[in-house]
Structure 1
Amino acid sequence: MNEQNRKENEETTSVVSKEKFHSLFLEFEPQLKSYLYRITANRSDAEDISQDTFVRAYEKLSTYRGESSLKTWVFQIATHIAFNKQKHNKRWTVNVSEEAKRLVMENPSLSQKILFTRSNSPAGAYEVKEHIDTCFTCMAKNLPIEKQITLILKDIYDFSTKEISLILDRSYASVKHMVSHSREILNEIYEYRCALVNKNGVCHQCKELNQWLNPLDDHDKKMEGVKRDLSSSDPGSLYDLRAQLIKAIDPLQTSGFELQEVLLRCNRIAMGEEELPKT
């Protein structure tokens, strides 16, 4: 047991009130919520799972033995809850953005909601960084849920392979394989679809959404700058660059988080996870 884990264990096992544990939980709660949001693509689900995690962790506090950091232990509980919730949903398809676009064009209530949020919400911005972050979330949901979780834990939240093994109760070798294979799959998806990487890419969501939502700004110029940076990299370096950009973003706190949630909701409806709103 290392010194940090020992200290956390001593602090945790001495907890005598919910308030004391809450103060420890609060240290990594924002990161936990953003992690759950990337898995579920649903703010309400992320909030609910985070709250359930707090309750279960407190109830099981006596079982914590410091074999991992308190953060890893709590992420293990949260991951188990999220996994059980998400495993009943189908994996998102690679054409989720096209399906969502079709849905919006066929349902004026959805397009009106998007435009209203863009025009009236203080969190209705549409920025390059948020597009790249949301795109990663959607593409990662093309993976089987266990691989999606493994990739996000490793590449976005910097958990070690050993820690992920504990969180998922999988062997070290199994986790290494899942990380490697998941990166390969995402690189293939990006190479085929992303218009930022490949000028022949079939996904033009970034350009089309910008023309619709930001007809007078310089978003396209910013996108071209990102495109130059991305297209000059080999696939491995390109993936690392994306991960670095995404690590710096809290999807629940960006200047456009409310608009991004509306757009993701359209994706969830397109993938059959939610019903169309009644008009």
Structure 2
Amino acid sequence: MQTTDLQQETLAKAMNGNINAFQELFSAFQSQLKSYLYRLTASRNDADDLTHDAFIKAYDELSTFKGQSSLKTWVFQIATNLAYNQLKRQKRWTPDVMEQAKNLVVNSKEMQALIGKVSETASDARYDMKEHIDTCFTCMAKNLPIENQIALILKDVYDFSVADICLILDKTEGIVKYLLQDGRNTLMDIFDNRCALIHKNGVCNQCSELNGWFNPKENQQQALMKLDLVRGSKKFNREELYVMRSKLVSALDPLRSPGADLQELLVKCNRVAMQELTTLV
């Protein structure tokens, strides 16, 4: 195909030292790479830095690229290794992170004021429960061991093949499949016990509570019923609900959604609760 021929020509230029040619290739998946790194780190600054570092490292090591995978997979492998080295120094998050963060906000007028200010002034501060479910998925995934988290996000959110994940993680197919199964089971257990959207005994009511905060004129029950996840919750089993969640998450870019500024601030609240940050600013 013509596009493939053009990409090969651009790759040849990049491998001969043309950084502009490499930037052209990199830009095709740059936004996806950055959102992936954001989901892993829960930090926009870290995602920006890691994306930049991955670009530099990939360009410097481009001569070692042998075409055994796509360039995208190869760069994701480099970025994943960089993120892994950072994440292994951090503690895993706990399933009650959302509740801890909520309690911090409830007891802090400063945090409430900052969230309110962003809600009122940000041009894209429209709150959407789908975005909150997306953020919740990211935060709950940080309960997993790093390799499970990486495998699950690559497969269920970014649709990488098992073969590509094997290359990225340098693991066998059997191990990658185990990481995926174990990670999904753990997340399903967490959501079973916490998500009030699909479990009437769930302890997390943040979706409806935050909707009432940011969209006070909107009926909360009507907003809940807009979600297929809620409408279908009584007829689907937990595996099907997990698939519905992951499809919803894969359709959103957490860095470019209408409520990205608010969602970033809410994630920062979780990071404060997990003692990764001491302040929201």
TM bin (shorter chain): over 0.9
Q: Does 1:247 align with 2:246?
A: no
Aligned to 2:180: 179
Distance 1:230 1:133 in 2: 17
Aligned to 1:228: 231
Instruction: Choose between structure 1 and 2 for higher RCO, CA contacts under 8 A separated by at least 6 residues.
Output: 1
Q: Does 1:96 align with 2:97?
A: yes
Provide closer, same or farther for how the CA distance between residues 170 and 6 of structure 1 changes in structure 2, counting only shifts above 3 A: farther
Distance 1:105 1:240 in 2: 33
**Matched position secondary structure for 2:233:** helix
1:228 maps to amino acid: R
Provide closer, same or farther for how the CA distance between residues 46 and 233 of structure 1 changes in structure 2, counting only shifts above 3 A: same
Aligned to 1:74: 75
> Is the 1:127–1:219 contact (alpha carbons within 8 Å) kept by the matching residues of 2?
no
Distance 2:234 2:51 in 1: 37
| Residue number among 261, 265, 275 corresponding to 1:262 in the alignment | 265
Distance 2:162 2:280 in 1: 41
Provide closer, same or farther for how the CA distance between residues 5 and 61 of structure 1 changes in structure 2, counting only shifts above 3 A: farther
Which shows bigger deviation, 156-165 or 211-220? 211-220
Distance 1:239 1:139 in 2: 13
> Is the 1:97–1:267 contact (alpha carbons within 8 Å) kept by the matching residues of 2?
yes
Aligned to 1:84: 85
Q: Does 1:197 align with 2:198?
A: yes
Aligned to 1:51: 52
Q: Does 1:134 align with 2:138?
A: no
2:206 maps to amino acid: Q
Distance 2:8 2:79 in 1: 19
* Number of equivalent positions: 276
Deviations 1:219-269 (A, max 9, x none): 431213422223321111111111111111011111100000011001001
Q: Alpha-carbon deviation of 1:13?
A: 4.0
Provide closer, same or farther for how the CA distance between residues 68 and 5 of structure 1 changes in structure 2, counting only shifts above 3 A: farther
**Matched position secondary structure for 2:123:** coil
Aligned to 1:12: 11
1:12 maps to amino acid: L
**Matched position secondary structure for 1:230:** coil
Distance 2:139 2:234 in 1: 21
> Is the 2:92–2:144 contact (alpha carbons within 8 Å) kept by the matching residues of 1?
yes
Aligned residues: CA RMSD: 1.9
2:266 maps to amino acid: L
Distance 1:138 1:264 in 2: 8
Distance 1:182 1:190 in 2: 12
1:46 maps to amino acid: A
**Matched position secondary structure for 1:231:** coil
Distance 1:231 1:253 in 2: 32
TM normalised by structure 2 equals 0.93
2:114 maps to amino acid: K
Structure 2 stretches of 5 or more lacking a match?
A: none
Distance 2:61 2:8 in 1: 13
Distance 1:28 1:218 in 2: 38
| Dislocated runs of 4+, deviation >3 Å | 4-11
Q: Alpha-carbon deviation of 1:129?
A: 1.2
Q: Alpha-carbon deviation of 1:213?
A: 2.2
Distance 2:78 2:8 in 1: 17
2:241 maps to amino acid: L
> Is the 2:268–2:280 contact (alpha carbons within 8 Å) kept by the matching residues of 1?
no
Deviations 1:94-130 (A, max 9, x none): 1111110111122221111100111111121110210
Aligned to 1:216: 217
Distance 2:154 2:91 in 1: 21
Distance 2:200 2:119 in 1: 28
Distance 1:277 1:192 in 2: 28
> Is the 1:36–1:46 contact (alpha carbons within 8 Å) kept by the matching residues of 2?
yes
> Is the 1:154–1:160 contact (alpha carbons within 8 Å) kept by the matching residues of 2?
yes
